[in-house]
Amino acid sequence: MPTDHSRALLVRRKTVLSLMLLAALTAASVHAEETAPTPVPHTAPIRQMAPTMGWNPWNAFRTEVTEDKIIAIAETLNRSGLKAAGYRYINIDDGWWLKRRADGRIIIRTTMFPSAALPDGETSFRPFTDRLHAMNFKVGIYTDIGRNVCSQAWDAKSPNLPTGSQAEREVGSMGHQTEDMRLFFGEWNFDLVKVDACGLADFGPDRPYVKNDTYRALKPAIIRGRPDLSDINGVESLYRDLKAAITQVRPNDDVILSICTWGEADVARWGHKYGQQWRTSADIRANWASMLHNFDTAVSGITATPSGRGNDPDMLEIGNGDFDVRHLTEARAHMSMWAIIGAPLILGSDLTKWSQDLIDIAGNRNVIAVNQDIAGRPRVISSDARIQIITRPLSTPGTQAVALINRGANPQTASVNRAQLGLTATSEVTLRDLWLDTTQKLVGDVLTVTLAPRETFLVLITTQP
Ligand code: GLA
């Protein structure tokens, strides 16, 4: 049954097509001093993989994340069909540590993850990853490339910060890369690690929590927004060493390294050498302007990246704020935008509260298929403050996905012509509206659509090769 909203869209599309039939439309258009001793060279090429799909607790729960909440999400992914649609990675984010013990081993906060408490007094995520693997999920964990972690700088009031002495609170990977990667990928059997970088940015000697000796000082290798003042080579070499440490444990390169320097330290240039994905911006927030900003940073990263892929504008905010159940147009636009550039699709909402409308948006198979197709490089056809048009060739010869994005708060008309799409004047062209799943022929030279405020038209264009 079409919803009222989709019926309205259908009516509008029919109007658009009649307009197209009139055919008279014209085209518009750290360096860290005491880092790993001898870096092991990383030689294995990064596997080309479809963008990661899954769920991460940060946007919904910050450090208030428990095993129960995560399992409830996993069950919801299963029941709703979202896992079957591709959302397979369940990731832990910040907040899981209790401390780093004197022998170097990290201890898990078992009040949050009770299954981690083993009978012999040790802690292990193995029961947790085994449980999720048995449900056919992949599982991700989180750390920092420095000594300390983001929540210690940004969530000072969290009840879940690491405890103990200054040394015990150093739960980041610096100086412990080999042992931590053995723990994560050997003993605990995770499939992904997100490696944040606050430890390299937020623990300079001037910080109050460093001055009062809560945390040890580390001269920042990342100065946010100032690549000229950042130690780019130092940051890169730490991620290179970390990747090498992962490869030692998992030589088949079957795990994902998700780099999180928020676009800093020139990561768009080197991220692809070590990771499958790298963040291009600061954290997304659940509002339209923040979503656009993060999207733009990933679009800019495309040019710096050999395959154009891997640029990560951060987790999806579908289900939250400006993208909640009262804003389905915005939610569809957000999903379309992440799909057209092949960004990771990591849900960041409490899915147990989702209505079917939201499940249908995140789970739309047509849109996911575009996202997961890794054949081609995204290309911006045109872009201004109101309308942005982006295309990406897909693996089936003669096919491309095109997004016509209304970035503004007013209705707009958007047009793109055959030449801009690389189509000849006479070829027969089929247009498939990927949200409505309707197909029609392109008549004339120009595809024109009317777009509601903040609407994206995502279309599959097929032509005979
Ligand atoms: C940084 C990252 C976020 C999240 C938090 C956790 O801000 O960019 O995605 O992991 O840290 O503290």
Q: Are 239 and 275 in contact (CB under 8 A)?
A: yes
Q: Are residues 16 and 103 in the same domain?
A: no
Q: In the listed set 279, 302, 322, which residue is the last one of a domain according to the structure?
A: 279
Q: Could you tell me the two tokens for 297?
A: 């940073």
The predicted structure's pLDDT at residue 465: 64
Q: Are residues 74 and 198 in the same domain?
A: yes
- Pocket flag, ligand 1, residue 150 (CB < 6 Å): yes
Place of tokens 């990927």: 434
The predicted structure's pLDDT at residue 18: 33
The predicted structure's pLDDT at residue 48: 74
Q: Could you tell me the two tokens for 409?
A: 């708060």
Asked whether residue 36 is assigned to any structural domain, the reply reads no
Residue of minimum CA distance from atom 6 in ligand 1: 94
Asked whether residue 348 is assigned to any structural domain, the reply reads no
Question: Where in the sequence is the domain holding 431, given as residue range(s)?
Answer: 4-27+380-462
- Pocket flag, ligand 1, residue 93 (CB < 6 Å): yes
Q: Are residues 112 and 10 in the same domain?
A: no
Q: In the listed set 254, 279, 304, which residue is the last one of a domain according to the structure?
A: 279
Asked whether residue 352 is assigned to any structural domain, the reply reads no
Q: Are residues 11 and 99 in the same domain?
A: no
CATH number for the domain harbouring residue 239: 3.20.20.70
Q: What is the mean pLDDT of the chain?
A: 91
285 alpha carbon – ligand 1 mean position (Å): 12
- Pocket flag, ligand 1, residue 283 (CB < 6 Å): yes
Structurally, the chain folds into a number of domains equal to 2
Ligand 1 closest atom vs CA 151: 12
How far lies 232's CA from each of 177, 202, 297, 337, in Å? 19, 16, 18, 29
The predicted structure's pLDDT at residue 306: 86
Asked whether residue 293 is assigned to any structural domain, the reply reads no
Q: Could you tell me the two tokens for 59?
A: 């946007």
Ligand 1 closest atom vs CA 283: 8
Q: Select from 58, 155, 202, 312 the residue to mutate for testing ligand 1; criterion: most ligand atoms less than 8 Å from CB.
A: 58
229 alpha carbon – ligand 1 mean position (Å): 22
The predicted structure's pLDDT at residue 461: 98
- Pocket flag, ligand 1, residue 96 (CB < 6 Å): no
Q: In the listed set 279, 311, 333, which residue is the last one of a domain according to the structure?
A: 279
Q: Are 92 and 190 in contact (CB under 8 A)?
A: no
pLDDT tens, residue by residue, 360-399: 999 999 999 999 999 999 999 999 999 999 999 999 999 9
Ligand 1 closest atom vs CA 155: 12
Asked whether residue 44 is assigned to any structural domain, the reply reads no
Asked whether residue 286 is assigned to any structural domain, the reply reads no
- Pocket flag, ligand 1, residue 451 (CB < 6 Å): no
Asked whether residue 339 is assigned to any structural domain, the reply reads no
Asked whether residue 72 is assigned to any structural domain, the reply reads yes
Please enumerate in sequence order all residues whose Cβ is within 8 A of that of 17, keeping only pairs 6 or more positions apart, or say none.
440
Q: Are residues 10 and 67 in the same domain?
A: no
Q: Are residues 272 and 127 in the same domain?
A: yes
Place of tokens 């390299």: 200
Q: What is the pTM of this model?
A: 0.91
Residue of minimum CA distance from atom 1 in ligand 1: 150
How far lies 351's CA from each of 220, 355, 363, in Å? 37, 9, 12
Q: Could you tell me the two tokens for 400?
A: 């491309």
In degrees, rounded to 5, the angle at the alpha carbon of residue 55 between the alpha carbons of residues 128 and 265 is 105
Q: How far apart are CA 266 and CA 304, in angstroms?
A: 9
324 alpha carbon – ligand 1 mean position (Å): 22
94 alpha carbon – ligand 1 mean position (Å): 7
Residue of minimum CA distance from atom 9 in ligand 1: 283
Spans in the chain with pLDDT lower than 50: 1-43
Q: Are residues 9 and 140 in the same domain?
A: no
The predicted structure's pLDDT at residue 321: 98
1 alpha carbon – ligand 1 mean position (Å): 39
Q: Are residues 68 and 14 in the same domain?
A: no
In degrees, rounded to 5, the angle at the alpha carbon of residue 105 between the alpha carbons of residues 178 and 251 is 30
Q: How far apart are CA 455 and CA 423, in angstroms?
A: 25
CATH number for the domain harbouring residue 444: 2.60.40.1180
The predicted structure's pLDDT at residue 240: 98
Q: Select from 59, 62, 198 the residue to mutate for testing ligand 1; criterion: most ligand atoms less than 8 Å from CB.
A: 198
Q: Could you tell me the two tokens for 131?
A: 């449980």
Q: Are residues 452 and 393 in the same domain?
A: yes
The predicted structure's pLDDT at residue 44: 55
pLDDT tens, residue by residue, 218-259: 999 999 999 999 999 999 999 999 999 999 999 988 999 999
Q: Are residues 57 and 23 in the same domain?
A: no
Among the residues of 231-382, which ranges form H helices?
232-249, 267-274, 288-304, 328-340, 356-362, 365-372
Q: Are residues 17 and 118 in the same domain?
A: no
Q: Are residues 244 and 174 in the same domain?
A: yes
Write b or e for each residue in 350-373: b if 16 or more Cβ atoms lie within 10 A of its Cβ, otherwise e: bbeebeebbbbbbbbebbbbbbeb
224 alpha carbon – ligand 1 mean position (Å): 14
